[in-house]
Structure 1
Amino acid sequence: MRKKVFGLSFALFATAFGLKGFSQKVDFKEYDLKNGLHVVLHDNKTAPDVAVSVMYHVGSKNEVKGRTGFAHFFEHLLFEGSDNIKRGEFMKIVAANGGQNNANTTQDRTFYYEVLPANQLKLGLWLESERMMHPVINDIGVNTQREVVKEEKRMRVDNQPYGQFMAVVFSKMFTNHPYHWVPIGSMEDINNAKLSEFKDFFKKFYVPNNAVLSISGDINIPETEAWVKSYFESIPKGAEVVQPAIEEAPITKEMIDTAYDPNIQIPAIFTAYRVPGENTKDAVTLSLLTSLLSKGESSRFNKYIKDQKAEALEVTAFNYTLEDYGLYINLALPSGNVPLDTLLNDMDAQVKDVQTNLITDAEFKKLQVQAETDFVNSNNRNIGIAENLADGYTFYKKNTGHVNDILTEIRSVTKEDIRNAARKYLNQNQRLVLYYLPKASK
């Protein structure tokens, strides 16, 4: 899931002094190569390392029914090697040169990166160009990664307590849109796919004109430009990638459903609301609302439901932001024998209060400090800056500089905006109520 779901941690200086006067501008250079690859360069001398990243605008929403899980599968498959990198050597090369690397996949994009000592920039560029230009996609790699992905699904989803709830919620909240399934996809689909289908998927989506090469670190800009051209410009341009544009009909009636999980002993209650995508002011506002309700011990859910009433072991809210839509979710686990409906009523009462009354000045100031601190922390490392720059170009109408707009967006939200967003989106006739229960024994 996207990094925006949770995570509004405090820094000591923020608590002590606030961030009202803080301004942190990220300077960068951006341009396109002849093959359409968008390049973003940020010279940052604060640490002697460099983050080399490539964001491909392909995720699980680019898949089709019957062939789900492809984007996540390629997150693994493209570490298998290339014409010039032996199978299994990709990660070893990075580690041997003092670096680290990883990748992750969402519904909307796949993100690969290396963080290396600054003097190993050329190595990072070569590795990512090899991944893009001529990876080895054969039966050996496909069969190997099938087993890797199966084990990941068993560990993170099938055998993980509450591991299935997101798949259930998305399947209920999206009927037509490919957000209907989650990135891990179906193992049956992966097993049934032919090698030719994997090759076609790569040829269609993993092309320079569907990617952003974002580099942040201790670099020399002219030198880096020359190396980027040398490694990437000869990669052939692909066909234009058209992102799906599928609209869901509004939800106008409350949906009530039940799901069973054999890995849990404590039931849970979820409410989910479909909300606008991340490139909207409402998405920023709703993220502040989740912090009001559940961030920290003094948040409303924790203060009233968990502490004062002692009815919940855990109660939280989060705004799952994606490109086309988002999901706003409240959830709670009962303490003792407290009925799930009691927790549902408790959460609804707190939402109703936000819909009815403006939050206090103290709460509002706290929300701003939390959100601003989270933004500052996201730019503390070169990989965070590289991803934020790539996000801006990919998801904010090619506005790479969106990273420099975030503080303004946070500060533009008013108490009235928070109340109005709650009124507009968090209504009972617009939601799913999911009773998530231990699987009954036979």
Structure 2
Amino acid sequence: MIHKITTLAIVLFFGSYAIAQEVEFTEYDLDNGLHVILHQDNTAPVVATSVMYHVGGKDREEGRTGFAHFFEHLLFEGTENIPKGKWFEIVSSNGGSNNANTTNDRTYYYEIFPSNNLELGLWMESERMMHPIIKQEGVDTQNEVVKEERRMRYDNSPYGNLLQSVSSNLFEKHPYKDPNVGYMKDLDAATLDEFKDYFEKYYVPNNAVLVVAGDIEISKTKKMIQDYFGPIPSGEEIERNLPEEEPITDQINATATDPNIQIPATVLAYRTPEFTDKDSYVLNMISTYLSDGNSSKLYKKLVDDQKQALQVAAFNLEQEDYGMYLIFALPLGDTSLETLNQEMEEEIAKLRNDLISERNFQKLQNKAENDYVNSNSSVAGIANSLARNYLLYGNTDLINEEIEIYRSITREDIQRVANEYLKPTQRVVLEYLPESSNVE
């Protein structure tokens, strides 16, 4: 089936925008359940090959956290036909680049090559899926790599464990309560057979989407995909029965400490709907309104005008089952965390009680248009969008339709969503303090 994707050539300028081109994509399934999406763009001799697996930090058993993030590393170890430690060397020596990342909901691997190396990218990703080497030596090696990453990015980094401190208070039952990177004691305790079983369950064609975007010929690419991915056997159907959370009806006050900071932080955090819900898009707009840029409400008020904060930020952490909406601030001078909380709540209350101005609303629409254009301005960005939209949102055409969701949002929607999700009784208030601090 061939779909037409409408993209914007230029961001709205003085309140207007223009549609520049239509981009075709083709999608279909292999017999083993692998979903394939092809996007042809012959304007530059570049091709992106990517595979997104529907497995993330939330896919774990109690006492066995962090497996998906661990496999993000482990599946670069080598395969039956790619020697140990040679993956990155093969990519770079053929003019390419590659990377991977894991969230609570999915894992994404990709290579970007000159288009004459398309077949190499397909072969490498098929090797990762079909012939990985999962042995104790590789597990031990990557265990040390993950531990070092955790030390650098979380345990020894200023404010590195702030998000985990928030999520552990926002969620009581759902796996989102635990860090995506997992707990090191869980990885240390896991057996080789447990790692192998995890791979066989989740890293299968019917739990993945393959996207090839860029300078390709559709018929030749289909033939290569069939040759490399067709023989891979499908896995068992995956069933997820994750626990649901009870609504938060009274403010939760929490405290955490960090030995790596000298300035405390305060966070107002709210549990919000899944990213497929239109209200999640509205929350993105609210984030822009509150803290995107020097003219945003919270930044101008707390940083520029009142000089009460060194930094302030509001952001919507979108996820598949529940979102998290966070407002974060660092105090300036003798400003107390309670004062910051009161000032931030004052701005949220305005959203609940009044419609924002037409001028501010138009700025939000302009920003949404701009972000939409930028997210699909390269073959790598388009590949990511196509994979995500199919695998997590269940609608590949969202790459075209998502901007219409933002355009359909009204000022009344912003007020309604603020009232529904951003109330004081529905939040966690976290004081994130220097270790041994008595800061109020």
Fold similarity call, TM over 0.5: yes
Equivalent position of 1:131 in the other structure: 128
1:284 aligns with 2:281: yes
For residue 344 of structure 1, the aligned residue among 341, 345, 358 is: 341
1:15-414 matched pairs, under 5 angstroms: 16-18=13-15, 20-22=17-19, 25-397=22-394, 399-414=395-410
CA distance in 1, matches of 2:366, 2:194: 48
TM-score by length of 1: 0.95
Aligned to 1:432: 428
Report how far residue 370 of structure 1 moved.
0.9
Q: Deviations over 1:360-387 (max 9, x none)?
A: 1111111111111111111111111111
CA distance in 1 between counterparts of 2:106 and 2:182 reads 15
Output the amino acid matched with 2:217.
N
**Contact 2:12-2:369 within 8 A present in 1 as well:** no
- Identity among equivalent positions (%) equals 52
Alpha-carbon distance between aligned partners in 2 of 1:394 and 1:244, rounded to the nearest angstrom? 18
1:196-235 Cα deviation digits (max 9, x unpaired): 1000000000000000001110100010000000000000
C-alpha distance in 2, partners of 1:26/1:440?
57
- SS of residue matched to 1:175: coil
Partner Cα separation in structure 2 for residue 244 and residue 191 of structure 1: 26
Structure 1, unpaired ranges of 5+: 1-10
Q: Counterparts of 1:226 and 1:429 in 2: how far apart (Å)? A: 57
Where 2:99 maps in the other structure, the secondary structure is strand
What displacement does 1:14 show?
Answer: 3.3
Contact 1:270 1:330 in 2 (8 A): yes
Q: Distance in 1 between matches of 2:43 and 2:252?
A: 51
For residue 427 of structure 1, report the CA deviation from its aligned partner: 0.4
CA distance in structure 1 between the aligned counterparts of 2:88 and 2:239, rounded to whole angstroms: 32
Q: Which amino acid aligns with 2:58?
A: K
Of residues 126-135 and 165-174 in structure 1, the stretch that sits farther from structure 2 once superposed is 165-174
Contact 1:26 1:404 in 2 (8 A): no
Cα gap change, 1:18 to 1:129, in 2 (>3 Å):
farther
- After TM superposition, give the deviation of residue 15 of structure 1 in Å: 6.5
Indicate if the aligned counterparts of 2:9 and 2:20 stay in contact, CA closer than 8 A.
no
Q: How many residues are matched?
A: 431
Q: 1:23 to 1:322 in 2, by over 3 A?
A: farther
TM (norm. structure 2) is 0.96
AA matched with 1:186: Y
Indicate if the aligned counterparts of 2:248 and 2:427 stay in contact, CA closer than 8 A. yes
Q: 1:423 aligns with which of 400, 419, 424?
A: 419
2:397 is paired with a residue whose SS is: helix
Q: CA RMSD in A?
A: 1.5
CA distance in 2, matches of 1:171, 1:92: 39
Distance 1:248 1:403 in 2: 31
Letter in 1 for 2:411: K
CA shift at 1:21, angstroms?
3.8
- Residue deviations 1:208-267, cap 9 Å, x none? 000000111010001000000000000011101123343111111100011000000000
CA–CA separation in structure 1 for the residues paired with 2:370 and 2:263: 34
Compare 94-103 and 166-175 and name the one that shifted more. Answer: 166-175
Aligned to 2:3: none
Q: Is the 8 A contact 2:12 2:18 kept in 1?
A: no
SS of structure 1 residue aligned to 2:108: strand
In structure 2, the CA distance between the partners of 1:211 and 1:12, relative to structure 1 (3 Å rule), is closer
Gaps of 5+ in 2: 1-7
CA contact (8 A) 2:291 2:299 kept: yes
Following TM superposition, where does structure 1 have runs of at least 4 consecutive aligned residues deviating by more than 3 angstroms?
A: 11-26
What is the CA-CA distance between 1:168 and the residue it aligns to? 1.0
For residues 313 and 384 of structure 1, the distance between their equivalents in structure 2, rounded to whole angstroms, comes to: 33
| Partner SS for 1:234 | coil
Displacement of 1:46 in angstroms is 2.8
Asked if structure 1 preserves the Cα contact closer than 8 Å seen for 2:51 and 2:125, the reply is yes
Change (3 A) 1:65 1:46: same
Alignment correspondent of 1:3: none
More strand by share: 2
